[in-house]
Chains A and B, each alone.
Chain A
Amino acid sequence: GAGVSQSPSNKVTEKGKDVELRCDPISGHTALYWYRQSLGQGLEFLIYFQGNSAPDKSGLPSDRFSAERTGGSVSTLTIQRTQQEDSAVYLCASSLDQGSTEAFFGQGTRLTVV
């Protein structure tokens, strides 16, 4: 399909394990965003990639969180030593350029840490 694709759609993991969440943006979109949304809450900004520029990591909540974007396309968000408070829906979005046009979201990855 032509939309933003995220995998897995659901992930249940044990506390202390590492998880990797994947995002395939729309082809040609240079901007890519990761957000976290807890139940009944708004979207919490995590990290933003724009082209080949250094990413804006200002929203990452701790050093257990990291993200990379390979070849300007696919992105992976990694959470190390997961904690129960990491349980949330992780949403990825992409846009043609840096924030001035519509951002398209994937359907998210629902992470549950038990």
Chain B
Amino acid sequence: RKEVEQDPGPFNVPEGATVAFNCTYSNSASQSFFWYRQDCRKEPKLLMSVYSSGNEDGRFTAQLNRASQYISLLIRDSKLSDSATYLCVVNVGGKLIFGQGTELSVKP
């Protein structure tokens, strides 16, 4: 079993749609959690950290359920510019483990 698993993609949605990505992790000792975004042929960049109480940044909402070892990302009112691969990232003893990523394509 992979340490970090994500929904298979790709997700193809129209502009304005709400889309949710899920992620599970296997190591209960995981310490911190993130969502990164990777555009085609570019390096990953931090989208947002994920906190136990849940957190929101504009159209983006991240949730963490430690008991279920589950992380989610919700994107509301999708824009064309949201098209990218979204990577779930877990910190295990300082080591950042990335999920396979979920590709999102937002269409006009």
Residues of A near any B CB (own CB < 8 A): 31, 33, 35, 41-43, 45, 48, 50, 56, 58, 91, 93, 98-100, 102-103, 105-108
Contact = CB atoms under 8 A, between A and B. Distances in A.
B87 A91 contact: no
A15 B35 CA distance: 36
Contact of B87 (A43, A45, A100): A43
Nearest to A95: B96
A45 B96 contact: yes
The 10 A-B residue pairs with the shortest CB-CB distance, nearest first, are: A98-B94, A99-B91, A105-B43, A42-B100, A43-B98, A102-B46, A99-B94, A100-B32, A48-B95, A42-B101
Given A42-B101, A91-B44, 16 more contacts: A33-B95, A35-B98, A42-B87, A42-B99, A42-B100, A43-B44, A45-B98, A91-B43, A98-B91, A99-B32, A99-B95, A99-B96, A100-B32, A102-B46, A102-B49, A105-B45
Nearest to A49: B94
* Most chain B C-beta atoms within 10 Å of own C-beta, residue among A58, A102, A107: A102
Contact of B95 (A45, A91, A108): A45
Contacts of A42: 87, 98-101
B37 to A, nearest CB: 11
A56 B93 CA distance: 10
B73 to A, nearest CB: 16
Interface residues of B, number: 20
Interface of B: 31-32, 34, 42-46, 49, 87, 91, 93-101
Contacts of A93: 96
A31 B42 CA distance: 21
Contact of B43 (A56, A100, A106): A106
B56 to A, nearest CB: 18
A42 B94 CA distance: 19
B100 A50 contact: no
13 contacts: A42-B100, A43-B44, A48-B94, A48-B95, A56-B95, A98-B91, A98-B93, A99-B31, A100-B32, A103-B46, A105-B43, A105-B44, A107-B43
